[in-house]
A and B are shown apart, each in its own frame.
Chain A
């Protein structure tokens, strides 16, 4: 299966600080528009949904269409009010889900 998603976010943040989160996951994002050597259409296979939760509360999510480039890169922001854990999930067309977690602490 796909390799581990890459995440970039600070390890700690001040209370109320808005941090930037960068995510990248390896995926072909087959659009369903292309044809193989025999001229048969290659079936669509993309990540159609991405969600980010912080301590169980939704932060950011998006619905993706075939017009998203291969190895989807998503960058967004989050406001940190408390220490906790970010949970990321990428849902594939075939129903499989790639997940990742990252902890963040409050600056002392």
Chain B
């Protein structure tokens, strides 16, 4: 077997880079405080990914006011609607951001608020439907200037 040439060496190196980057590309686990908040909210049940669209800027220059929109797919009728949506920021000193409570009268399970983010972190939304099913979605926001200034 002959020694690997330059081209192959590059290909191999590239492969390694891909491998090491892979776990970071996958969804990061929700950590610490936020995990506790989720557990209290869901009662220990595991939320499924989907149904929620979470709209946040990828890069927030000012962490003091970051626009957040959340929209959950639901017919919003008396039999089937979104009851509650909890928004969490896992890198803030206090992970809780807001809990939005909808009713069939809301018509749409959609809301916008402006939030504070201390550092670059994951923002998580967990939705509880009227039938008890749970959904989740998360997004990473890069923050240039933190919003918890001391």
Contacts and interface: CB of A to CB of B under 8 A. Distances in A.
Contacts of B96: 65, 67
A18 B112 contact: no
Contacts of B105: 54, 57-60, 78-79
A17 B15 CA distance: 55
Interface in B43-78: 64-66, 76
B103 A58 contact: yes
A64 B96 CA distance: 8
B89 to A, nearest CB: 6
B120 to A, nearest CB: 15
A67 B89 contact: yes
Contact of B94 (A34, A60, A65): A65
Contacts of A75: 111-113
A17 to B, nearest CB: 8
A23 B44 CA distance: 34
Given A60-B100, A61-B101, A68 B110 contact: no
A62 interface: yes
B86 to A, nearest CB: 9
A68 B108 contact: no
Interface residues of B, number: 33
If over half of B's interface residues share one DSSP class (helix, strand or loop), that class is named, otherwise mixed; here it is mixed
Contacts, number: 99
A9 to B, nearest CB: 13
A22 to B, nearest CB: 8
A31 interface: yes
Interface residues of A, number: 29
Contacts of A79: 76, 104-107
B97 A67 contact: yes
Interface of A: 18-19, 31, 33-35, 54, 57-70, 72-79
Given A63-B98, A76-B112, A78-B106, 20 more contacts: A18-B108, A58-B103, A60-B100, A60-B103, A60-B106, A62-B100, A66-B94, A67-B96, A68-B113, A68-B116, A69-B65, A69-B147, A70-B64, A72-B114, A73-B114, A74-B112, A76-B106, A76-B111, A77-B107, A79-B106
For the complex of A and B, 10 pairs with smallest distance between CB atoms: A79-B107, A18-B107, A65-B96, A75-B112, A69-B65, A69-B114, A77-B108, A67-B97, A63-B99, A76-B111
Interface of B: 64-66, 76, 89, 92-94, 96-108, 110-117, 147-150
